[in-house]
Structure 1
Amino acid sequence: MLYLSITHPSLRLTAPALKKLQTHCDFLLKSSTFIFPQAPQRKVTMSGVIVQNMSFKPGQTLTVTGVPNPDSTNFAINIGNSPEELALHLNPRFSAHGDNHTVVCNSYQGGSWCQEHRPDGFPFNQGEEFKIWITFTHDEFKITLPDNSEIHFPNRPGAEKYNYMLFEGGVRIHSIEIK
Structure 2
Amino acid sequence: MAETLLHMTGFQMKHGDSVEVEGRIKSSTDRFAIDLGVDPANKAVHFNPRFSQGGCKIILNNMVNTIWQEEVIEECQPCNKEDFTVLIKFCSDNFEIVVCNKNTLKFPNRSGMDTLKAFWIKGDIRVKSVKFNIQIN
TM-score by length of 1: 0.68
Deviation at 1:137, TM superposition (A): 0.7
**Correspondences of 1:52-131 after superposition (within 5 Å):** 52-95=9-52, 101-126=56-81, 128-131=82-85
Deviation at 1:147, TM superposition (A): 4.1
Unaligned runs of 5+ in 2: none
Q: Secondary structure of the residue that 2:9 maps to in structure 1?
A: strand
Q: Secondary structure of the residue that 1:101 maps to in structure 2?
A: strand
Deviation at 1:84, TM superposition (A): 0.3
Asked whether the 8 Å contact 2:34–2:48 carries over to 1, the reply is yes
Distance 1:130 1:172, change over 3 A: same
Distance 1:136 1:174, change over 3 A: same
Unaligned runs of 5+ in 1: 1-30, 32-45
Q: Deviations over 1:31-77 (max 9, x none)?
A: 8xxxxxxxxxxxxxx74210011222111121110111121011000
State how far apart, in whole Å, the 2-side matches of 1:93 and 1:87 are: 19
Asked whether the 8 Å contact 2:14–2:116 carries over to 1, the reply is yes
Instruction: Identify which of 89, 92, 115 aligns with 1:161.
Output: 115
State how far apart, in whole Å, the 1-side matches of 2:47 and 2:132 are: 17
Deviation at 1:111, TM superposition (A): 2.2
Q: Secondary structure of the residue that 1:144 maps to in structure 2?
A: strand
State how far apart, in whole Å, the 2-side matches of 1:54 and 1:176 are: 13
Asked whether the 8 Å contact 2:4–2:120 carries over to 1, the reply is no
Percent identity for Structure 1 against Structure 2: 28
State how far apart, in whole Å, the 2-side matches of 1:83 and 1:122 are: 30
- Work out the number of aligned pairs and report it: 130
Instruction: Identify which of 84, 89, 92 aligns with 1:135.
Output: 89
Distance 1:80 1:47, change over 3 A: closer
Q: Secondary structure of the residue that 1:48 maps to in structure 2?
A: strand
State how far apart, in whole Å, the 1-side matches of 2:11 and 2:17 are: 12
TM-score by length of 2: 0.87
Whose strand proportion is higher, 1 or 2? 2
